Structure formats: structure tokens, C-alpha cells
């Protein structure tokens, strides 16, 4: 079968692209390597989505998934390795199968950045985590550390404050991330069990079978601090993984460059959501990208 569009990635952008393509009577296959919903699925709470006061990222993702499957969206859990141009179509080569399509929408999002310090990989899953929604409940009554000053870090701190005895919010700078919403900052600062630490740089994670301590550098006084903790949640941003598309797209710092129609340098290939080079990466902007790409795909294959 030749699909009208293959969407690589089942995050909010990918599923929204499928929604709009299907509503235009076209065929769409979504290929996802891990989790339906992508990054948004791990968000403790979404509070900046128009007309929805609040919803968990998991609930949002599930509802969107149900909506597009009801319209006939097809899914494959597979890992895309490369794409190939074949006359007027594309072949998407994945781990288990190859798929043919008239157009491709890249919606692979981004992956969690690591601290890249000693002990991080060794203790991943043993106290080091990148998802508070997934793992926070395991640390009830414990001391928990969150590294980062972004919206995600602040949301993690708020969620984890419901479980932990103490939650240490560690930031390398002397302030929060410039993109952090003031409403989240205010909420965090009102939490009595959240201890805010500025100007501290993670140096080493210590522990035998599990996390026991985080070694920090106090950059204002040039001294080391040993922070006793049972868990470390890393929320220092994301980075795109786009090497497999390199022959078909232009990139900057790994992000794919598109025009306002979400078109890449290759006719028939589009990029949407967090994988695209742009100023603002939010749920609403990801869905806007997807709607634009879907419109252009539907017009192209009609």
C-alpha cells in the first residue's frame, strides 16, 4: 500500500497531523518507536491549553489517540532507520518493515538531555530519572532532587512535592530559565517542602545500588556541596535526533529548517513540532505546525 502520508512520531504534533489528514479523506500511517504522546505524555499537568483548564499529559495524549484511531489512523511501533526517494514516492525503512508513501511528515520531537556526569548512566533507573510522572510515586517520604529551571523542572518540583519529604530544585544559574512561566514560579515558591538552590552545578552522582548523594559545585563560592538525596530527576531541556534525515533536510543545531508551510528542502517532506527550528515550543505551536503541514499534504495528494 502507498499511503498519502507517513508521519514519523506519535507525539501531539504527529497525531494532530494525522487528525487533519484523515479528516480530509486521506490515508495516514504513524510510526512511533516508543510511547504514544511523546514528551507531553509525561507532563504532570497541562494548564496553558486554550479552553481546557487543566489536564494531565497522559490523559491528553490518550484522548487524542482515541480521536484519531476512531477516524482510521494506522499505527506501527517501529524504529525508522532511513528514508529513500523512489520516483514520486518515498520508502521509509524501519527496523521491522519498509513502508511506501507520497509524503512524509517528520514529527520526532526531541529527547531528554543528560547531565553527562559520572554516575548518571550507572544509576539510571536506580534513582536517576527523566520522568516525574513515571517514577515520582516511588519516592514517597524521601528526599528528592530536581535539576533544571525550566517549566518542565518546575512542574516536576510541584508534582514531586506531593510525594517527597524535601524537594531540592537545583539550577546552574542565579535565576530560573527565561522561558519559565511566572505562574509556575509562584506556585513552586509557595511550597514549603521545596528548597530552591541557585548557582549549583551537578558534578557527580554517588551511590552503590541506588542514588545516595549528588555532588554539587557552588559556583558563587567555588566549593563543593554534598546533597543527600534518594532520587534525581533531570529536566534540563531536550535535543532533537535528526541525523537519519540529514540527506533530505537542512538543519541548525540538529533542528530541521522549514518554511512557513512546514516544507523542508525536499519536496514532499515536512517537519512539525519540537523537531523544527523555531522560537516557541509549546503544545499549541506543535499542533499549529501539524495543522499547516496536514493542509499542505492534503492539497498536494488530492
Which tens digit of pLDDT belongs to each residue from 222-255? 899 999 999 999 999 888 989 999 999 999 999 9
| Ranges of H-type helices in the chain | 12-23, 57-70, 132-135, 151-160, 182-189, 283-300
DSSP summary character for residue 170: E
Sorting pLDDT into bands at 50, 70 and 90, what band is 264? very high
**CA of 53: how far to CAs of 6, 138, 150, in Å?**
32, 28, 21
**What does the domain layout of the chain look like in residue ranges?**
2-110+240-300, 128-234
Which tens digit of pLDDT belongs to each residue from 12-66? 999 999 999 999 999 999 999 988 998 888 888 888 899 999 999 999 999 999 9
Which H or E run includes 85?
Answer: strand 80-86
| CATH 3.50.50.60 for the 128-234 domain, yes or no | yes
**If 0-12 CB within 10 Å is exposed, 13-18 middle and 19+ buried, where does residue 175 land?**
exposed
Which tens digit of pLDDT belongs to each residue from 96-155? 999 999 999 999 998 889 999 999 999 999 999 998 988 899 999 999 999 999 999 999
Which residue spans within 113-220 are E strands per DSSP?
A: 128-129, 143-147, 166-170, 194-197, 200-206, 213-218
What's the CATH class of domain 2-110+240-300? Answer: alpha beta
Structural contact between residues 283 and 10, judged by C-beta atoms closer than 8 angstroms: no
What is residue 44's predicted lDDT score, i.e. its pLDDT? Answer: 82
Sorting pLDDT into bands at 50, 70 and 90, what band is 196? very high
**If 0-12 CB within 10 Å is exposed, 13-18 middle and 19+ buried, where does residue 194 land?**
buried
DSSP three-state, residue 273: helix
Q: Matching CATH topology for 2-110+240-300 and 128-234?
A: yes
Q: pTM, whole model, 2 decimals?
A: 0.80
Amino acid at each position: 500500500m502507498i499511503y498519502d502520508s507517513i508521519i514519523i512520531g506519535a507525539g501531539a504534533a504527529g497525531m494532530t497531523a494525522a487528525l487533519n489528514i484523515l479528516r480530509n479523506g486521506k490515508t495516514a500511517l504513524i510510526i512511533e518507536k516508543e510511547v504514544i504522546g511523546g514528551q507531553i505524555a509525561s507532563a504532570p499537568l497541562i494548564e496553558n491549553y486554550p479552553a481546557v483548564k487543566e489536564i494531565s499529559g497522559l490523559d491528553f495524549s490518550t484522548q487524542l489517540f482515541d480521536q484519531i484511531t476512531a477516524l482510521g489512523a494506522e499505527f506501527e511501533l517501529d524504529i525508522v532507520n532511513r528514508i529513500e526517494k523512489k520516483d514520486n514516492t518515498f520508502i521509509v525503512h524501519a527496523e521491522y518493515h519498509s513502508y511506501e508513501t507520497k509524503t512524509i511528515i517528520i514529527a520526532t520531537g526531541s529527547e531528554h538531555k543528560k547531565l553527562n556526569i559520572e554516575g548518571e548512566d550507572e544509576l539510571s533507573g536506580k534513582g536517576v530519572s527523566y520522568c516525574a510522572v513515571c517514577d515520582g510515586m516511588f519516592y514517597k517520604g524521601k528526599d528528592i532532587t530536581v535539576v533544571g529551571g525550566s517549566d518542565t523542572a518546575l512542574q516536576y518540583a510541584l508534582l514531586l512535592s506531593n510525594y517527597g519529604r524535601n524537594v531540592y530544585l537545583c539550577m546552574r544559574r542565579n535565576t530560573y530559565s527565561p522561558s519559565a512561566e511566572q505562574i509556575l514560579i509562584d506556585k513552586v515558591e509557595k511550597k514549603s517542602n521545596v528548597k530552591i538552590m541557585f548557582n549549583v552545578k551537578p558534578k557527580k552522582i554517588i551511590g552503590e545500588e541506588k542514588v545516595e548523594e549528588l555532588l554539587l559545585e557552588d559556583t558563587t563560592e567555588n566549593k563543593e556541596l554534598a546533597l543527600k538525596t534518594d532520587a534525581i530527576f533531570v529536566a534540563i531541556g531536550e535535543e532533537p535526533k535528526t541525523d537519519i534525515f540529514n540527506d533530505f533536510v537542512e538543519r541548525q543545531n540538529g533542528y530541521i529548517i522549514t518554511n512557513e508551510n512546514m516544507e523542508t528542502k525536499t519536496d514532499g517532506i515536512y517537519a512539525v513540532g519540537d523537531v523544527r527550528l523555531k522560537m516557541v515550543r509549546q503544545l499549541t505551536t506543535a499542533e499549529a505546525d501539524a495543522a499547516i503541514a496536514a493542509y499542505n499534504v492534503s492539497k498536494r495528494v488530492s
